[in-house]
Amino acid sequence: MRKEMKSNKRKTQLILSLALLLANILQFAQIAAAQQQQQQSFWSEETEKNTDSSATATTSSTRLFIDLQNGLTADGAVALGLEKNGELQALRKEAEAARALVKQARLRANPKIDASGTREIGGMGDGSLMVEGMLPLELGGRRAARIRVAEAEAEIRELAAANQKRLLAGEIRSKFGEALARIEKLDLLERILSNTNQGYEIISARVTEGRTPPLEQNQLIVEVNRLRSLRESAEGQAENAVFELKNLIGMKPEEPLRLSGSFENLVAADVPALDAAIEQALLARPDLLGARATEKLALARIEQARAEARPDASLKLGYQRMRSGFPLSGIDEMGVLSPIENRMNFLTFGVEIDLPVRNRNQGMIEAATFEREAAQRRIEFGELTIRREVNAAFARYTRAVRSLSIFQNGVRNQANANLRVVWQTYELGRRNLSDYIAEERRFLDVENELVDARLETYQTRIEILRAANAPGLIKK
């Protein structure tokens, strides 16, 4: 009997222990479910905020940077920059100043007038008055040499402005393409962020249904926030590129600017042939023409120094009136007693000759000769540099086109297909979410590298036009 009572007591204690354990388990399960529901609610709110902000950012960013209907094209940016760029305007003013100096050099030397007189002190008041004029002749080709020097200096100034125009047009087109590339990367990130937000909604639904562990939801929200951070950086880079473009075209930072144009159309434009580009560059590059104009300036200075070393003359013509007398009186023609004095008028004329016997501008001639030799060396080096720049630009362009072709045909499509396959296998339960996130990051890297390949192709094309000074660089 006692053994039976002890056995029942043990059973009762066991049942009570199991009931207490079950109650604790249920309590813990309720707490865990409440925490999970609270966490899901939090992440859902965050995801909704991310999705809304991402969609808003996409719309605002697109409207902020791109306007395909009324935006500024690359040709329009070049035209605006050539009109408003401050450095180019300064060089044009310097060229105008040089042309004004040519006008000054054409003017002939002014005549001179010299007036003087004498007056006797304490005597009979004798004195004289003399007026003399002098006209410089500028013999020996002085005026013509001076004009040639001024014209050569004006040509150098004009070619400096033209070279700055060439460089500015190339820089504007390059910066325009860079801005479009930054905007394209921003648009890529926003599209991927939008897709990731949609994926997060799917994962959240699966976690709620219990088909997916909460860890995958947490992994995906980390990826969403990482993409949001990258998008902010990309938008900042796009804004900075637009600010730099505004500076080149003479716009204030606060002025609105929207771009218009397709990056792919800019890349697909034609380039001149190599031989034609080299010939065009050697004939029309303003920097090389400027070096040749510097040689002309040195020659003009040599001729000017030699002309100034030749004899020069000035014509003189004057009038002199003198009055003199004695402290005595005499009888004049009328028989009247009057002081003895005389008034005389003279016409003076002559020639003043400058004889360069000691100073024949030997130092000036020698210095101008050395300047000419230096200009000749610069011309030779400039021609060599131009050939190198054109060939290097074509080499870069050829490699960039091949790289872009490989990316478009053998990398991008396959990367996109791989991303779809990984997502489908994840939906079937054969892959983890981390595999999809890793593949998505690889796809993003591929897309960014594709944009960089397009930008490199475009910029190397602009470099060819800049190096060759091709007409397509500046379109009227």
Report d(CA 450, CA 471) in Å as an integer. Answer: 29
Contact predicate 385/268, CB 8 Å: no
- Give the pLDDT band of residue 263 (cuts 50, 70, 90): low
Question: Which of 116-132 are b and which e, b meaning 16 or more Cβ less than 10 Å from the residue's Cβ?
Answer: eeeeeeeeeebebebeb
pLDDT at 381: 96
- Give the pLDDT band of residue 42 (cuts 50, 70, 90): very low
- Compute and round to an integer the Cα radius of gyration of the chain: 45
| pLDDT tens digits, 208-257 | 888 778 888 888 888 889 889 998 999 999 999 999 999 999 999 999 99
What is the rounded average pLDDT of the residues 13-22?
56
Write the single-letter amino acid at 453.
Answer: A
pLDDT at 472: 85
pLDDT at 402: 92
What is the rounded average pLDDT of the residues 131-146?
92
What is the rounded average pLDDT of the residues 385-402?
94
* Residue 361 phi, psi dihedral angles, 5° rounding: 55, 35
Q: What is the dihedral of CA 394, 171, 291, 377, to 10 degrees?
A: -50
Contact predicate 129/117, CB 8 Å: yes
| Average pLDDT score over the chain | 83
Placement of tokens 């800049």 in the chain: 466
Q: What is the per-residue DSSP string for 304-338?
A: HHHHHTS-EEEEEEEEEEEEEEEEEEEE-TTS-EE
- SS3 readout for 108-159: CCCCEEEEEEEECCCCCCCEEEEEEEEEECCCCCHHHHHHHHHHHHHHHHHH
> What would the CATH number be for the domain defined by 46-325+338-473?
1.20.1600.10
Strand partners, 215: none
Lowest mean pLDDT among 80-89, 173-182, 213-222: 213-222
Lowest mean pLDDT among 123-132, 322-331, 348-357, 362-371: 322-331
E strands, 149-272, where?
Answer: none
pTM of the model: 0.77
Placement of tokens 């599209």 in the chain: 191
Contacts of 200 (CB under 8 A, 6+ apart): 43, 47, 217, 220, 221, 224
* Tokens at 111, concatenated: 């005549």
Contacts of 326 (CB under 8 A, 6+ apart): 124, 339, 340, 341
